[in-house]
Structure formats: C-alpha cells, structure tokens
Amino acid sequence: MLNKYARAFFTRVLTPFAAFLLRRGVSPDAVTLIGTAGVMAGALVFFPRGEFFWGTIVITLFVFSDLVDGNMARQAGISSRWGAFLDSTLDRVADGAIFGGFALWYAGQGDDNALCAVAIFCLASGQVVSYTKARGEAIGLPVAVNGLVERAERLVISLVAAGLAGLHAFGVPGIQVLLPIALWIVAVGSLVTLIQRVVTVRRESAEADAQAAGEAGA
C-alpha cells in the first residue's frame, strides 16, 4: 500500500545522493550491508534498553539504504539477481532485529510477557508474509495480492510509534502506550495479510491445476 507511493517519492529525493556515492566508488552491495548493520545496531543496542527515541533515529538514518542501493544499481546499470537476492535477504534480517529488539525490551526491563509474545509474533508473521509471496512466485503463480500490511506499513507503524513512545524519557506523559498499540496493529494486520496471501495462492494454484488438466485432456 505505502510501497507504491513512498518508494516513488523517496527514490526521487535520494537519486542525487545515490549518484554521489557512485562517484566516490561505493558499491550498491556495500550500501546494503552497511544499512543492515546500522538498522541492527539501532534496534539491538537501543530498543532492549528502552531507548526508543534514539533507536528509531538511528534506524531511520540507515533504513533508507534499502532505496539507495537499488537506485545506485539502476544508475550504474549493474542491477543483478545477486543484488536483488542480497537486498531481500538482508531486509528480513533487519526486520527481525527491529521486532527482536522490542521483544527483548518486554522480556527484560519492560516486564510484559504478553507484549513480548506480540512482538515475537510480529517478527515471525512478517517473515512468513514475505515467504508466502516468494514461495508462490517460485512455483509459478502470480500471487496477485499485496495485502493489508506489507513491509513498509510494518516499519512505518512500528517505528513511528517507537519514536513517539521514546519521548516519554523526555517528560511527555502517557505517550509510551503508543508502542503496544502499534505492535497489536502490526500483529493483527500481518495475520490478515498472511490469510489474504494464502487464500490467493490456494485460488491461483487451483486455477493453474485446472488449466493444466484441461490442456492435458485436450
């Protein structure tokens, strides 16, 4: 949902920066690796200690590498299957670190087992949502559905809420409640999206099987 519009906007904004990196001899793969490392550091260093504001700032600075590396590859004319594979794989690692950081906070100083479980569900469901589309496409199906909550929505909802919740440390009262609310929204939205994709793959596979059977009997 957000991917369609947000990517187009930030691609235009970040194009000059991507060109600058290329002129300095930086490779798209290096940007992918550095960006993932930055996101992991922001999530696993700050979030487990409850420093949500600063963790979100660090993550936000590095999360745009997901747009910069692809932009660089297109400008340089070096887009490749390897680059796409690396980018997609490390996206999953970064997502896992973010929700893992939330889970570590609630398992430790946050002292809330229910929210720890919700964060873990967000982590797992996000991975499975991505897998269902990749696996469906791998067996030759179009998987013609995006779903309610994709990666962009998961990141925006959770990081905006975390950043605002972090303002509690600066004296803003009651705002820390936004993070639990966001995690529940992401969990429910991810479940709905997973169901949407599973239903779509089931329908498309039945249609493909019926078509193959019809062609075999013709």
Check residue 20 and give left, alpha or beta (phi > 0: left; psi -120 to 50: alpha).
Answer: alpha
Task: Confirm if 78 and 18 have CB atoms less than 8 A apart.
Answer: no
Distance CA 168, CA 97 (A): 23
Distance CA 26, CA 69 (A): 10
Q: Which of 91, 95, 111, 112 is catalytic?
A: 91
Q: Is 91 a catalytic residue?
A: yes
Residues contributing to the annotated binding site: 29-32, 66, 69-70, 74, 80, 87, 91
Residues contributing to the annotated binding site for Mg(2+): 66, 69, 87, 91
Kindly write down the DSSP assignment for every residue of 175-187, as one continuous string: GGGHHHHHHHHHH
Residues assigned a catalytic role: 91
